[in-house]
Structure 1
């Protein structure tokens, strides 16, 4: 029986992934004249690399400058674009009656706080783990193993909710069942090893 839910953030609870892609694409073009194609970006993300591998001749110093500007662009987008996913609060309100929940994200905490400022989603959560809170990011298992540790939970008592292949790989390596919720942004990725695949977060209630 499942008692705990570990949610990915981007693409599951808020629609931010296209904005991160656009910010990265913009910075690569501006600083390195690289046109980052969507298919290449998806592979880079799945492998767990930074987008700067698309500019292999860039120096470390150049990458730092470009990354800082990318982060500026991303935060600008977060503050002005609509990133809400319809029905999330109602679903979490129903789930909290039965399950303890946490967020496990590869977002930086500074970005996470902008995303969730006055949004109310974190009120349903026992904890939030950001990229600074574990040794290695997804697709390594560290983020979800840390989530288990904080819950003091067994793997078989826990389920992960993801929308990306990178997150699925992380959950698989942690040996935790994973639900993939449909997201247009990641729909071309390989989710064949997911325990469940659902077309909306609301269906999570039905399968638990």
Structure 2
């Protein structure tokens, strides 16, 4: 039985990833650059993102810095105005809280995380939250999840990571922690072959954390 869960945030607990992409695409469109989604997802899986394509288009670093601020402003606009809830999350967290201790390990900036959760109840189920400012090296490096283990005083064997991206999966694997990848249409084309579990919805986590037979449990098409 697992005793601890470390949740990724964006795409797992809230549906924000498409809006982060849209904000970046809008910021690049302002300067005449088209952000290709497939390339963006590929770059994100390696811990990079929007600005790789801007640099390849010959955009000056000073302009990139300015448009980064524009991207952040657009993203926060979407966080305030768009529906980002994922159905059933609170109910699942309430049930899981009877069996495990939980925390969030996210690459989200603190200002964005606070905005998202200003009027939401997700944090009430968490022992702690680690945002981007709380560690030095981001996913796919193992540091974020190793920091989560340290905060819990837990071992990798008694912990489960829940992710939706190959970048996050790589971080969990490098940290020596089993990872359940939950279906997310935005990241569905990424490589999840190293996941211990692949699930359709968060509600399937209860069976995973309570199972004594730790053989891989998958129910998605390979």
TM bin, normalised by shorter chain, reads over 0.9
User: Partner of 1:167: helix, strand, or coil?
Assistant: helix
The residue aligned with 2:213 is: none
* 1:148 alignment partner in structure 2: 149
Partner of 1:54: 53
1:180-191 correspondence to structure 2 within 5 Å: 180-191=181-192
1:117-196, aligned counterparts within 5 Å? Answer: 117-196=118-197
Give the match for residue 107 of structure 1.
108
- Superposed counterparts of 1:55-70, under 5 Å: 55-56=54-55, 57-70=58-71
- The alpha carbon displacement at 1:155 in A equals 0.7
- TM-superposed CA distance for 1:186, in Å, is 0.6
Shift of 1:50: 3.3
Deviation at 1:98, TM superposition (A): 1.0
Does the residue aligned with 2:157 lie in a helix, a strand or coil?
helix
Match of 2:35 in 1: 36
| Residues 9-67 of structure 1, C-alpha deviations (whole Å, 9 max, x = no match) | 00000000000000001111112x22111101101100101311101222221111000
Query: CA RMSD, aligned part only?
Result: 0.8
Q: Partner of 1:148: helix, strand, or coil?
A: helix
Distance 2:29 2:41 in 1: 17
Which residue in 1 is equivalent to 2:27? 27
For residues 37 and 203 of structure 1, the distance between their equivalents in structure 2, rounded to whole angstroms, comes to 33
1:154 match: secondary structure: coil
In structure 2, the gaps of 5 or more residues are 210-222
Distance in 2 between residues matched to 1:76 and 1:162, nearest whole Å: 25
For residues 143 and 158 of structure 2, the distance between their equivalents in structure 1, rounded to whole angstroms, comes to 18
- 1:72-91 equivalence runs, <5 A: 72-91=73-92
* Length, aligned pairs only: 207
Q: Within 2, Cα distance between the matches of 1:97 and 1:109?
A: 28
What is the SS of the residue equivalent to 1:139?
A: coil
- Please say if residues 41 and 49 of structure 2, whose CA atoms lie closer than 8 Å, have aligned partners that are also in contact: no
For the pair 1:15 / 2:24, whether they are aligned, the reply is no
- Structure 1 or 2: larger helix share? 1
Gaps of 5+ in 1: none
Question: Could you list the per-position Cα deviations for residues 69-127 of structure 1 after superposition, in whole angstroms to 9, with x for gaps in the alignment?
Answer: 00000000000001001111110001111101000000000000111111000000000
Moved over 4 A (4+): none
TM-score, normalising length from structure 1?
0.98
